[in-house]
Amino acid sequence: MRRDELIMWIVVRGCVTADDVAKTIGISRYNGWARLHRLKRRGVLKVVWVRRKAWWCVPGARPPVFRRVVPGSRRRRKTTDLLRKVEELLEGGCVATSALMRALGFSHTQAFYAFRLLQAEGRAVKTKLGRVAIWCRDRETAVRFLEELRGEVVRLVKQHRARYVTPKRLLGFIASDARARKLFSRFIDVRSPSATAYGALATLLEMVYGDPVAKSIYHTAQQRQKGIEIRVVDSVEKEKVVVNLTPDLAVALGDVDSETVLQAIEQLLQRYRS
């Protein structure tokens, strides 16, 4: 088939695929694609993608209309039910993808798909401990959950009077404590731990006690205490003032609204200028 005949054949149909050209002319799919690509380079055709399938169309033509998923259809209802189950699980706090799979019998693809949909709609946020993804309702819930995990680590270590702790030893503490076991089961499998679970616990230990003293061994006496650094811009002098608070003062101000702290420092600056 000559080029002019091929163009007329495509114009009659509006849109064709490389498979259509190959079957009609009796050539390979690649050669059919090559001919269509040359016509596209000349400006005769344009490419329209429909569900990962390329359609080669003349200007003004559209590919065949496929059935779309309309509200209330079976597929839409299935997705809605899936998201509803996930949100109900998130009402109890933060969970990991693996925990959702165990709780609702989802595959990893279903669980990840549901979380990503909720995240896109602003109904879930993602944080990570090592390679474990943890999903929560909002950012505040995520922060509280991480602080709760840190507090449980400190409680367990003090309870067992451990001077040094490893992820494996911490997991033993968790498995023997009902309260800790219920909390940590939201993101790791306590009964059958994996390398990913140990990695998450190692990340948590590093958050609490700093860098390990040797490989994955953490010295519990060196608990990390973070201070607070507040930067205030002087409204008169237009200078930045950095205020470093000691850890004990930082803890005391932990429940105070940050805006209130900034206003107090601004008042101190005004008294200093006067």
Domains of the chain with CATH codes? 3-57 (1.10.10.10), 77-141 (1.10.10.10), 146-219 (1.10.10.1490), 228-273 (no CATH)
Q: What pLDDT does 14 receive?
A: 86
Instruction: Report the 3 state secondary structure along the chain.
Output: CCHHHHHHHHHHHCEECHHHHHHHHCCCHHHHHHHHHHHHHCCCCEEEEECCEEEEECCCCCCCCCCCCCCCCHHHHHHHHHHHHHHHHHCCCCEEHHHHHHHHCCCHHHHHHHHHHHHHCCCCEEEEECCEEEEECCHHHHHHHHHHHHHHHHHHHHHCCCCEECHHHHHHHHHCCHHHHHHHCCCCCCCCCCHHHHHHHHHHHHHHHCCCCECCEEECCCCCCCCEEEEEECCCCCCEEEEEECHHHHHHCCCCCHHHHHHHHHHHHHHHHC
Q: What pLDDT does 80 receive?
A: 75
Q: What pLDDT does 160 receive?
A: 92
Quote the tokens at residue 93: 């706090």
The Cα 86–Cα 104 span in angstroms is 9
Q: What pLDDT does 251 receive?
A: 47
The answer to whether the beta carbons of residues 220 and 165 sit under 8 Å apart is yes
Write out residues in the chain with pLDDT < 70, as ranges: 65-79, 222-274
Q: What pLDDT does 156 receive?
A: 94
Q: What pLDDT does 66 receive?
A: 52
Q: What pLDDT does 125 receive?
A: 86
The answer to whether the beta carbons of residues 232 and 262 sit under 8 Å apart is yes
Q: What pLDDT does 89 receive?
A: 77
